[in-house]
Amino acid sequence: MTTTKNPLSDGWTIIVKRECATCVMVVPVIARLVKDLPNLTVYTQDDPTFPEGISAVNDLDLCASWHADIDTVPSLIFRANGVETKRTIGWVRKDWRELTGIADLGSELPEFRPGCGSMSVDPDIVDKLRVLYDGAILHSRQIEIASAEDEFEAMFSRGYTDGLPVVPPTPDRVMRMLSGTTRDPQEVVAIAPPDLVQLTVEKIAINAVMAGCLPEYLPWVIAAIEAVCTDEYNMHGVLATTMPVGPVIICNGPGTRAIGMNSGVNVLGQGNRANLTIGRAVQLTIRNVGGGRPGEVDRAAHGHPGKLSFCFAEDEISSPFTSLAVARGFDASQNTVTVFTGEGPRCVVDQLAREPDQLAQTFAACLRTVHHPKLPFAFDAVLVISPEHARVFAQANWDRERVLKEIHDRLQLPGIEIVRGAGGMAEGVQEAFKDATLPKFRPGGLLLVHSGGPAGLFSTIIGGWVSGATGSDPVTKLVSR
């Protein structure tokens, strides 16, 4: 696959098509310019005989239009030293006169007529043009599928799926996905565990196609990949553990609303394309490029459904708290992803608490059970507070820090209650800690996120994996296009 060079040369260029009424109207002007302007080339997109009586270059393959980035015809362009310096689109008599320096140009025509869409931006063919003229930027190996073979079944048989059908990543789909970012397709974003393979933007885009992403989701996928492939997050360890955990991706910033992410009703469930496909793209990338497949490096004893995709947005607009991203040192205007290693969500029910102390007590009691009520300090957690529960705290003027402090204070565990054998349970801390008081979570180990539907006195706990240097730390990355 080779990229065709830009055929436009220095001087004047006009690009037209017959089916455009404005192009037909300006034929007399074009005829005048052919006589008065040196080095004028006329390209026609759809009919080699148009404009009549004027020698035009056939642009039926839209090569000139594509490389000139034409979105509207007619377009009049001037280039010098290989660089475009002037352009006008449609018919605006004043602009054409100023551009050409011909004071009486188009006197017989109306002052203004809008142009028409260029054939090179036609949604039906633009993806094919991307592959035809820019496709050399794709370096990945292409898999040939026999004409009699079902392409979806072929993806299953070759082991490229997560157990659900994936979208075949054809070159035109990958090129369309890459339009969602300004980053070079061959830029290495990260080294993917467990096989320590270089993850390029192109490789991530391929898996984003397979996951069903739209191009505008790609920057979010890239940021999440950058985050999970850090030493702090420890994706290799997350894969290799026998605990039922995987990446949880929490998205913040105005961009979550721009791409239509869900932060409200059914926020952790099905039904939202952005939430589900962004998380799925991360998992597929680690699986297909990094080699993190179940039964191989992925050794989870049970796993959980969120290992297909676990991605959601925080409801920042109606939240009484600062957002998770702001709490982690970012600005509210920035788009971020925070990755956390988590198990499946569990529900917290409290429909009677009307005072913040009561609700904090409920949260503390439920949070104590994360992985085991007698195991302190080792595991982090995310508390996803619903709007109705958050309102209880807001009415008492408890901010994020107050809520977390009150819960933390209620999770100081007496050693005598959590040593091995206490309560008839073998699990617990060593006998040496029987006179100590230990916190359930390390400092900063409980994350708070405001999300969920406006009705329902329920919140959600997402238990974590082993925290710190021996396990995984939450990581937050900026999203950049």
In 45-149, at which residue ranges do the beta strands (DSSP E only) sit?
57-58, 72-73, 75-80, 83-89, 91-92, 112-113, 116-117
Q: Is residue 191 part of a domain?
A: no
Q: Is residue 201 part of a domain?
A: no
Q: Using an 8 Å Cβ cutoff, are 210 and 166 in contact?
A: yes
Establish if 35 belongs to a structural domain.
Answer: yes
| Total number of domains constituting the chain | 2
Final residue before a domain boundary, out of 124, 157, 174: 124
pLDDT value at position 1?
44
Q: Which residues, 6+ apart, have CB-to-CB distance to 269 below 8 Å? A: none
* Rounded Cα gap, residues 127 and 121, in angstroms: 9
Shared domain check, 393 and 246: yes
Q: Specify if 71 maps to a domain.
A: yes
In this structure, are 444 and 313 located in the same domain?
Answer: yes
* 245 shares a domain with 112: no
Contact predicate 467/378, CB 8 Å: yes
379 and 239 in a single domain? The answer is: yes
User: pLDDT tens, 417-436?
Assistant: 999 999 999 999 999 999 99
Q: Residues 236, 371: one domain?
A: yes
* DSSP designation for 59: -
Alpha carbon 383 to chain centroid, angstroms? 23
10 closest CA partner among 82, 65, 77, 68? 82
**Residue 356 falls within a domain, yes or no?**
yes
CB 454 within 8 A of CB 315: no
Q: Count other C-beta atoms under 10 Å from residue 163's C-beta.
A: 8
Give me the residue label for tokens 């107050």: 402
- Regarding whether 248 and 104 lie in a shared domain, the answer is no
In contact, 18 and 82? CB cutoff 8 Å = no
| Contact call for residues 90 and 114 (beta carbons, < 8 A) | yes
Does some domain include residue 463? yes
Same domain, 426 and 289: yes
Contacts of 150 (CB under 8 A, 6+ apart): none
Query: Which residue in 76, 68, 67 sits closest to 30, CA to CA?
Result: 76
| DSSP state for residue 305 in the 8-state scheme | G
Global model pTM greater than 0.85:
yes
Domain co-membership, 248 together with 110 = no
Q: How far apart are the first and last CA of the chain?
A: 26
Answer yes or no: are the C-beta atoms of 111 and 94 closer than 8 Å: yes
How many CB atoms lie under 10 A from the CB of residue 279?
26
Q: Of 124, 147, 181, which residue is a domain's last?
A: 124
Query: In this structure, is residue 215 part of a structural domain?
Result: no
Q: How far apart are CA 179 and CA 175, in angstroms?
A: 7
What local confidence, expressed as pLDDT, does residue 4 receive? 61
| Residues 117 and 238 both lie in one domain | no
Domain housing 100: 11-124
Same domain, 104 and 235: no
Same domain for 418 and 302:
yes
- Assess if residue 102 is contained within a domain: yes
Alpha-carbon torsion, ordered 89, 94, 98, 103, to 10 deg: 130
Q: What CATH number has the domain bearing residue 46?
A: 3.40.30.10
- pLDDT tens string for the chain (481 positions)? 444 667 888 999 999 999 999 999 999 999 999 999 988 999 999 999 999 999 999 999 999 999 999 999 999 999 999 999 999 999 999 999 999 999 999 999 999 999 999 999 999 999 899 889 988 888 898 888 888 899 999 999 999 999 999 999 999 999 999 999 999 999 999 999 999 999 999 999 999 999 999 999 999 999 999 999 999 999 999 999 999 999 999 999 999 999 999 999 999 999 999 999 999 999 999 999 999 999 999 999 999 999 999 999 999 999 999 999 999 999 999 999 999 999 999 999 999 999 999 999 999 999 999 999 999 999 999 999 999 999 999 999 999 999 999 999 999 999 999 999 999 999 999 999 999 999 999 999 999 999 999 999 999 999 999 999 899 999 999 999 9
Considering 73, 93, 124, which residue would you say is the last residue of a domain?
124
